Amino acid sequence: MNYKNAKVILPEYLVKELQKYFQGGYLYIPIHKENQKAWGELSGYKEELKQRNTCIIQEFHNGCSINSLAKKYHLSTHAIKKIVY
């Protein structure tokens, strides 16, 4: 998280208005709902997991056992079952 000095990025009238409510600390301003990204979209991790899970499902349908998939992908057998079933 990057902290910015309000005096540098906000107009003076807005800084004075904020100071009526809060001074001398860190204030988190959340992203507007319309601009919010879903989990993993920004980093690309969601797509990586989708590709990995597709491979796991294909290998399972080609006869690979749950135990061998768990070892290969470093996941628990429970996690593999959740993916393939």
For the stretch 30-82, pLDDT in tens is 888 877 777 787 788 989 999 999 999 999 999 999 999 999 999 999 999 99
Domain presence at residue 36: yes
**Can you tell me the distance from the alpha carbon of 47 to that of 37, in angstroms, rounded to the nearest whole number?**
14
Residue 1 has pLDDT above 80, yes or no: no
Domain presence at residue 39: yes
Domain ranges, residue 69: 6-84
**Residue 85 structure tokens:** 């079933």
Domain presence at residue 1: no
Domain presence at residue 34: yes
More confident residue, 20 or 1: 20
**What angle separates helix 66-73 from helix 77-84, to the nearest 10 degrees?**
110
Indicate the burial class of 56 (C-beta count within 10 angstroms; 0-12, 13-18, 19 or more).
buried
Structural domains of the chain, count: 1
pTM score over 0.85: no
- 84: nearest Cα among 68, 63, 71, 66: 66
